[in-house]
Structure 1
Amino acid sequence: MSTIETAADQRSFIPVTLDLGDVVLCPWGRKTDVRDGAVPALIAAAADPAIALWNPLRTTDEASAGAYLDRCDAGWESGNSAAFAILDGADRTLLGNTALRWVNREDGLAMIGYWLAPAARGRGAATRAVRAVTSWGIATAETRRIEIAHAAGNDASCRVAERCGFPYEGTLRASYLFGDGKYHDEHLHARLAGDPEPA
């Protein structure tokens, strides 16, 4: 077995629940313990204007929401991606999502994204979730570098990146087709495995 194959085998995302107290990060998918409310919650999230613009889910009905959960299961099974439902620690209602996926598994390069339901915004849930999943990915799957790319106009996402220790590195021009059908510039942030934990 080559050195590259060995590294890729070690760099697998293994399902785990991360309990942060008032917030719990639970693996998404039909095969996990996210309750039956996952499908209607995904449909409701897709209808939110901010999510529809910056994180279009395309989970507008039961079939597409189910397909989303199936893709999450497949990502976990392959070790290529780790999608977590951000749940309220008390009643397990859905607050949002954060997902870590390999861009180049052999090289240890990954990307993380996130969204929050409207009622969950302003309480630090995205920041806590992204910090936890970033630390988990570095510690358990040998991620060397994790990137965040968000639309230049998405100020809330920029603040999460900065609070999580992902410094701004530059602007990617017209790099991604967003929910409005237009290509937007994106800000690129990144964190290296050796960077200090944010204060």
Structure 2
Amino acid sequence: MRPRLPAWPAVPPEQDGVRLRAFRDDDVDTVLDLAGDPRVAAVSTLPEGADEPAARAWIARQHRRWAEGAGFSFAVAEGATDRAVGQVGLWLDRWAEGVGTVGYLVAPCARRRGVATRALRAVTAFAATLPGLDRLELFVEPGNTASLRTAQRAGYRRVDVVPHPRRAGDEPVPMVRLARRLPGTAAPRG
């Protein structure tokens, strides 16, 4: 059984014009935009080309992540409009070791505007408020230079390349592991 997670944040974490909030039913258009990118399907549970019912099922799964103890799955929303433009997750299956894992998706309509960097900074700041976490890890495909730059801009440093399964049952694939220590903790371990 997974440990009980802290309460969902009463005040949504924000950073430089992005807000991390719970997904809503009206975020389905953003999820459909995400589903149009085959790279998203390769690293998430959202099927490529998902239709509206599949997008709504994905949103429902994001709501269950916290209730099931897996972690926090936030919609990344524009601060000014509250329109969802992506997703960022803080996964806590290694919380007992002091390690969390983060990941992010940005809808094609919102890319190249710094949304991923700001969302990653916001989730990192939120993670720093959780007791017992001393570092975060992030896994990126070696050829995804944009995502590697995003992680580095948010203060993550490259640790190594490790086999990392994308989905249960799939063959492990090489992924660059990046890490960041949280304030007041020792340097990231490999």
Length-normalised TM-score, structure 1: 0.77
Give runs of aligned pairs for residues 144-159 of structure 1, distance below 5 A. Answer: 144-159=134-149
Give structure 2 stretches of 5+ with no counterpart. none
Does structure 2 conserve the Cα–Cα contact (< 8 Å) formed by 1:13 and 1:82?
A: no
Deviations along 1:129-149, one digit per CA (max 9) or x if unpaired, are 111111111223432221001
Distance change >3 Å, CA 14–CA 93, structure 1 → 2: closer
Larger radius of gyration: 1
Distance change >3 Å, CA 12–CA 107, structure 1 → 2: farther
What is the match of residue 31 of structure 1? none
What is the match of residue 181 of structure 2? 192
CA shift for structure 1 position 105: 2.4
Identity, in percent, stands at 29
Give runs of aligned pairs for residues 54-73 of structure 1, distance below 5 A. Answer: 54-55=43-44, 57-58=46-47, 60-73=50-63
Distance change >3 Å, CA 64–CA 15, structure 1 → 2: farther
Distance change >3 Å, CA 139–CA 15, structure 1 → 2: closer
Aligned residues: 180
Please say if 1:97 is aligned against 2:87.
Answer: yes
30, 38, 48: which one aligns with 2:37: 48
Deviations along 1:150-186, one digit per CA (max 9) or x if unpaired, are 111111110111111111011114x3358xx886421
Distance change >3 Å, CA 155–CA 195, structure 1 → 2: farther
Q: CA–CA distance in 1 between the matches of 2:70 and 2:38?
A: 29
Q: CA–CA distance in 1 between the matches of 2:45 and 2:68?
A: 24
Distance change >3 Å, CA 135–CA 22, structure 1 → 2: closer
Give runs of aligned pairs for residues 35-184 of structure 1, distance below 5 A. Answer: 36-55=25-44, 57-58=46-47, 60-173=50-163, 175-177=164-166, 184=173
20, 26, 51: which one aligns with 1:25: 20
- 3-state DSSP class of the match of 1:172? strand
Does structure 1 conserve the Cα–Cα contact (< 8 Å) formed by 2:19 and 2:76?
A: yes
Q: CA–CA distance in 2 between the matches of 1:144 and 1:25?
A: 21
- 3-state DSSP class of the match of 2:97? coil
After superposing the two structures, state which structure 1 stretch, 126-135 or 38-47, moved more: 38-47
Deviations along 1:100-121, one digit per CA (max 9) or x if unpaired, are 0013122222100001112211
